[in-house]
Structure 1
Amino acid sequence: MDIKITNGTLTATINPQGAELNSLKDTNNEYIWEGNAKFWGKHSPILFPIVGTLKNNSYLYNGQVHALTRHGFARDNAFSVKTQADDSVAFTLSDSSDTLKVYPFKFELELTYTLKDKTLYLDYTVTNKGEAAMPFSLGAHPAFALPENFSNYSLEFEKAEPLVSTQLKNDLLSDKTVTLPAEGGVLPLSYELFENDALIFKQLESKSVTINKNNQGYIKVSFADFPHLGIWTKQDAPFLCIEPWQGFSDPESTFGNLIEKQGIVLLEAGKQYKAGFSVQII
């Protein structure tokens, strides 16, 4: 059963299956993509313990090959409710016999949703419950509903910087980049931007990006704890994903060693990793 939280201004609905945010709305608008499978049947999946695609959908650890599909398994598993209040809820996912088959590490992943004023805060805690260092990546994949003509929207980055996107090839990172046509940190949206799949920013000075509608602020995503950012949609789809990432797809040249993977976090035994981002309705 979906869980609703509200603070009187915003209401969020979360499905314990994947602890996925299905809805964020005020009295006038729904801000999360409806999940129409014609375009993309998800809303806001959690990416863990990898972000993106592994070469050959597998990795090496301690000399053994393990299979792990795109974006990992957290989005496909049922989370438990840890705590719940009117305006917040915390979910947890722990290792199981199934996860240990593809990811041989004992962990706990906690995700807390909190509403405050016109902002939804999403806070993650990863705990290494094992006795060895645990390599992982973590990411978010919220899809925001854009019901008007796609060209009515633009992205405004916190800083006016060159927007250099690393291109994908067969779902892996290539060695090619493209500099996007932004002026003053503002990138007009068009489907042509996504002809080669997602935009991937491995390095950004900006720690927030705002979706503008008709040149006015609409939704602001702040991601100070995440060093990388993905942005994605599909042709003619009325949504845009803004994806704070710690990690990204393998490069084409990878040898597949998970410990040495670019963007990986290596968490010591018994330690915790915390990160969060926010979605502000303007």
Structure 2
Amino acid sequence: MTTTISNSILTASIKHAGAELSSLKNNDSKEYIWEGNPNFWGKHSPILFPIVGTLKNNTYEVNGKEYQLPRHGFARDMEFQLIEKTGNSAVFSLESNEETLKKYPFEFELQLIYTIEGTSLNIEYIVINKNDEKMPFSIGAHPAIALPESFESYSFKFEKEESLKFNLLENDLISNKTETLKTTNNVVPLNYKLFENDALVFKTLESNSLTILENSKPYLEVDFEDFPSLGIWTKDQAHFVCIEPWFGYSDTSNNSGNLFEKEGILILEADQTFYSQFSLKIL
């Protein structure tokens, strides 16, 4: 099942499965979200919760008990409920249940709010801790931006001039090895070789936004001011790139396994609510 929202400029479609954005078109029907071709990658823009990335041995521990979670958690594979809708906005909800408690022993509600304003799609995350104790979690976005031209026709322009140091992944875990992206006037040309070791993981950035350029012209801007970390990823020869604002990332190889001690984890106090948002702006 899919819900569609729009204004006079943009139309967005969101699947109830995973509350996943599956389409973002302008009024010329130009598509900005990856089609989900399974020969490369069969998703469009999954929600990452209650972890981002991969756990060591896909296992973690809370209060002395072990639990298992797949990469990026379970929210992307679950059915959300549409709880509110207007012409240009929609609110989706996922609540903890018997199935989630087996994998993640906390009561929660996760809400996704999609709102189109002008040439932007704003995506808000609300996490409600419904326990009488602290709740550890990570949350992140994974939108795949469609790149209809040749991959090398595109480049990134970061908002600020900075040293773009990223951590390398080894066996899906964060290693201590780092590299730095070379830039010219804050611009990084795209090529598939950048991703030969999987995603680029930026634990911290000074920039709050990144603009994708198509043949040196602005194409789409991702604003992630609320998020401390960023992942960038694609598959070899695929016509998309994922710009992924994150709270948290994969385990390090020396991680203790205790979810409360996980690097980058958020700790939400009892009965409290977490809020963040990012946006996709068509240029």
> Which range, TM-score by smaller chain?
over 0.9
Per the alignment, residue 272 of structure 1 pairs with: 273
Tell me the SS of whatever aligns to 1:259. helix
Q: Is the 8 A contact 1:161 1:184 kept in 2?
A: no
Q: Are 1:127 and 2:123 an aligned pair?
A: no
Deviations 1:67-91 (A, max 9, x none): 0110000000000011000000000
Q: Are 1:176 and 2:184 an aligned pair?
A: no
Q: Are 1:249 and 2:238 an aligned pair?
A: no
CA distance in 2, matches of 1:149, 1:69: 33
Give ranges in structure 1 of 5+ residues lacking alignment: none
Per the alignment, residue 150 of structure 1 pairs with: 151
Per the alignment, residue 219 of structure 1 pairs with: 220
Per the alignment, residue 5 of structure 2 pairs with: 5
Q: TM-score, normalised by structure 1?
A: 0.99
CA distance in 2, matches of 1:123, 1:180: 29
Q: Is the 8 A contact 1:53 1:249 kept in 2?
A: yes
Q: Are 1:24 and 2:24 an aligned pair?
A: yes
Per the alignment, residue 111 of structure 1 pairs with: 112
Tell me the SS of whatever aligns to 2:105. coil
Deviations 1:12-46 (A, max 9, x none): 00000000000000123100000000000000000
CA distance in 2, matches of 1:232, 1:78: 25
- Segments of 4+ in structure 1 off by > 3 A? none
Per the alignment, residue 92 of structure 2 pairs with: 91
CA shift at 1:277, angstroms? 0.2
CA distance in 1, matches of 2:166, 2:235: 17
Q: TM-score, normalised by structure 2?
A: 0.99
Tell me the SS of whatever aligns to 1:46. coil
Given residue 125 of structure 2, which amino acid in structure 1 is its aligned partner?
A: Y
CA shift at 1:180, angstroms? 1.1
Equivalences for 1:38-53 in 2 at 5 Å?
Answer: 38-53=39-54
Q: Are 1:78 and 2:79 an aligned pair?
A: yes
Tell me the SS of whatever aligns to 1:178. strand
What number of residue pairs does the alignment pair up? 282
Per the alignment, residue 232 of structure 2 pairs with: 231
CA distance in 2, matches of 1:27, 1:79: 28
Tell me the SS of whatever aligns to 1:131. coil
Tell me the SS of whatever aligns to 1:254. coil
Given residue 25 of structure 1, which amino acid in structure 2 is its aligned partner?
A: K
Q: Is the 8 A contact 2:8 2:27 kept in 1?
A: no
Q: Is the 8 A contact 2:3 2:14 kept in 1?
A: yes
CA distance in 1, matches of 2:102, 2:56: 19
CA shift at 1:139, angstroms? 0.1
CA shift at 1:259, angstroms? 0.2
Q: Are 1:185 and 2:186 an aligned pair?
A: yes
